[in-house]
Structure 1
């Protein structure tokens, strides 16, 4: 006869989903599905091993339906397991809804209950629910609890109510280092560096977390010098501190060479250190160097690239248009347990789309078990970018009816309106703009209005585009006026082109390229004198200089950049000798001299 102790022992040693499923079957077979000691263990393992919150909820509902008691009311332990599971899974609304059910069943919460509930409120910024839960904590005598108080501080700080957070802190009878860190973080989140530093100075026994929190606060506010001073003063520095400073150098527009120097000075490094250096190169637009660091990272013993590494490297490949390297990263990711990773999948869709392989992007997209709004945005944007406007609109229709409940956002509609622009769908473009506002309650961005201006311009409706610009609720940007100038070309609308060019020059008065489109319009209508005057003006603006053309060639994990007339490459002599040889071969075959 299997006893409760036997099941508890089995659950204690359970390490995989198959084993758990077998135990669950035996629990039901032997009638232990309502046991107050066994069920919490099953619920916890269902969250951690099966990653299926709905499976845990099914077991919890079975537990609630017990016929053994007049009113089945599992103790707070079972409820807390559900709260913890939902919270860790990011299902914050479900956590709060489940608490309402708990109260209806007259189950008494404890301090752990309030911690999970308040964390959920903080994550979604629901101050009303947070205040309601605070009132309940007061009635049940848990507001003075240190853990509950700390969670309340987080709720108020996330909602921008630092004064209330401070009030909760001041009323706490006992304050540990976690509470001090919470109020310090509250002020930093509100951008109040002065109050944050006052709190920091009041902490007597500062641990490394407090030091690192203050340093991070300075870095996020752009106070790099203050962060450096505090970093130097730290009595003990762990790897997290070093990584924090490295990321600060990378994110604050500092010279990337400073990041490299700091990286080389680090006493030890982990994957986050390498990620910080890669991020630094990407932030400075040095994508080839980012890929080079990644190749070095792969040769390091005991360093395994993380999800963030793969996503950043795919981003670098996208920026360079490096399809071959992107495909290599794809193979590496799938061979190293990233096949089902959502963010990696999104990065692959983006990389293949921007490198021109839309079919590969579609294969990745359709192969993803779960898709978030980023997934849909990436594929819609990729299709629109390459002229597959109809397919992009069809994809949006699928998104609107998907069973996973993913809602479109502003980026989604940038892709949709871009698709309409490429296809010349004027009526549909305005319909989607209205849908975005009226159905999804999304306020238009400058990018949305820009797409409409471009759509009207490409459709030969330059006057309508001007009217749209003039009636917008925000000031037009340079891109809109440039679209309008381009729209004037086919119609030969010189007056409108001149007016739009004047607006463009307000943004970049010394940029010679801004005169090119106007010159083309003059040429289209045969006003060659104006063409000559415009080109003369261009030469004067640019001082006779023209940006050199650039070519990119990838070889052995390196992407080499070549500029017209460039002699900086280490193998310049050999390169030019080869060009002379190739030019000679072309002449022999009656090919135009390059």
Structure 2
């Protein structure tokens, strides 16, 4: 009890006065020290322990992972653990450590060594790949899980991770398959899966499917509302997003910071400046939510797109937070919409001071100059980008889904076995578009 509330000195006194100490007492002291960040003391008690079981070993291993991200020490302790104490939870603890530390390749190797895997093992591996942007790998783990002879089946967390990967990849057909699997496997009424489906369909361009899921859900929470409001806003259906937001408020449901990001984004898409101001004030006055940098960014975007540049600049000046590149980039985007070259140059100077080596900043202003036909300025930016040793722009990568398989391709990619045929088709499509009257905007590249 004492260690669990952090009164570690009282716990230590009681512990020292005990005539006999069992494994529960040793575990309580180790866990108590870990809970207050005293890893060295926890290890000292652990080494003194006359009895150890799986729970005690797992607590100490977890301490190294949670407090230090020290996978070397955690793995050393795991390897010392007697086989009789090493259970699937022990393996999962180390696997999760590898996933969170970023060494997902070591985590994959460790996963393959596991003599027994449960659903949390599979979810841990998926979560590691998800955390580090390896979305194709996430879907690959799901495929392996479903084909595994162990018979371990996905739970709601498994499906949510897979749906999130689909949303990142735009893999709507795989997402639809997961939807069918969820419905036929007893997850049809699961709120977490429902939220994941709304998010996936919205981000894959299927907003009507997202609406169908939303309307079919008997239970909704703030995450449900956020996903639907954000999805509608992203698809340019700002009025519908705001109607849903207003309905949420009338029903007495409490919005959070993410809800207001969606509502303000909807105001941007709908061009509703006054309503945006009203929601921004409402957030702090009625719901005690301190605005985030994302909220300020939405307001700058709203004012800028409406052509209210003086108001946008005054708004930035009044911010209690220091404007970052998100804020200035929102204003730069508005400059591009209204072709305001003079202000764009001033804003660009702010951005370059914050991120002088990011070449994408030069690209944005170059596009504005190019649209205005100011090629001398474009050439000047090209020289400035090289002179400032700006980071080279990474080749853009995209994903395409064909026959339930997601394939990655990058600019000037030549990895595919049918590269020549692919480029022939792309050239044909380009000529077809040109013959139909389409003229792409092509500007002088900055780098």
Q: Which TM class, normalised by the smaller chain length?
A: 0.7 to 0.9
Report matched runs for 1:52-131 at 5 Å.
none
Change (3 A) 1:181 1:456: farther
Quote how far apart the aligned CAs of 1:557 are.
4.2
Q: Of 116, 122, 128, which residue of structure 2 is paired with 1:280?
A: 128
Change (3 A) 1:586 1:439: closer
Change (3 A) 1:578 1:387: closer
Asked if residue 167 in structure 1 is aligned to residue 10 in structure 2, the reply is yes
- The answer (yes or no) to whether the contact 1:417–1:451 under 8 Å persists in 2 is yes
- The answer (yes or no) to whether the contact 1:346–1:375 under 8 Å persists in 2 is yes
With 339-348 and 183-192 compared, the bigger mean Cα shift is at: 183-192
Q: Of 57, 60, 78, which residue of structure 2 is paired with 1:231?
A: 78
Question: What CA deviation, in whole Å up to 9, does each residue of 1:361-384 have, x standing for no partner?
Answer: 111112112111111111111111
Quote how far apart the aligned CAs of 1:585 are.
10
Aligned counterpart, 1:348: 197
Q: Distance in 2 between matches of 1:393 and 1:187?
A: 49
- The answer (yes or no) to whether the contact 2:99–2:125 under 8 Å persists in 1 is yes
Asked if residue 366 in structure 1 is aligned to residue 215 in structure 2, the reply is yes
- The answer (yes or no) to whether the contact 1:513–1:538 under 8 Å persists in 2 is no
Question: What CA deviation, in whole Å up to 9, does each residue of 1:60-113 have, x standing for no partner?
Answer: xxxxxxxxxxxxxxxxxxxxxxxxxxxxxxxxxxxxxxxxxxxxxxxxxxxxxx
Aligned counterpart, 2:118: 270
Q: Of 217, 229, 234, which residue of structure 2 is paired with 1:385?
A: 234
Aligned counterpart, 1:576: 420
- The answer (yes or no) to whether the contact 1:481–1:504 under 8 Å persists in 2 is yes
Structure 2 gaps, min length 5: 441-447
Change (3 A) 1:525 1:372: same
Q: Distance in 2 between matches of 1:343 and 1:486?
A: 35
Quote how far apart the aligned CAs of 1:453 are.
1.2
Quote how far apart the aligned CAs of 1:201 are.
3.2
**What TM-score, normalized to structure 2?**
0.87
Structure ID, larger Rg? 1
Asked if residue 242 in structure 1 is aligned to residue 85 in structure 2, the reply is no
Q: Distance in 2 between matches of 1:178 and 1:347?
A: 40
Question: What CA deviation, in whole Å up to 9, does each residue of 1:542-570 have, x standing for no partner?
Answer: 7896543434222354311122332333x
Structure 1 gaps, min length 5: 1-149, 157-161
Q: Distance in 2 between matches of 1:195 and 1:566?
A: 54
Change (3 A) 1:566 1:588: closer
Q: Distance in 2 between matches of 1:542 and 1:469?
A: 29
RMSD value over aligned CA atoms?
2.9
Question: What CA deviation, in whole Å up to 9, does each residue of 1:142-189 have, x standing for no partner?
Answer: xxxxxxxx3x643x3xxxxx2x35425644776654454344334333
Aligned counterpart, 1:216: 62
Asked if residue 474 in structure 1 is aligned to residue 318 in structure 2, the reply is no
**Helix, strand or coil for the counterpart of 2:322?**
coil
**What TM-score, normalized to structure 1?**
0.67
Aligned counterpart, 2:264: 417
Aligned counterpart, 1:531: 378
Q: Of 253, 257, 271, which residue of structure 1 is paired with 2:105?
A: 257
Change (3 A) 1:170 1:385: farther
Change (3 A) 1:207 1:530: same
Quote how far apart the aligned CAs of 1:584 are.
7.3
Quote how far apart the aligned CAs of 1:464 are.
1.7
Report matched runs for 1:550-589 at 5 Å.
550-569=397-416, 572=417, 574-577=418-421, 579-580=423-424
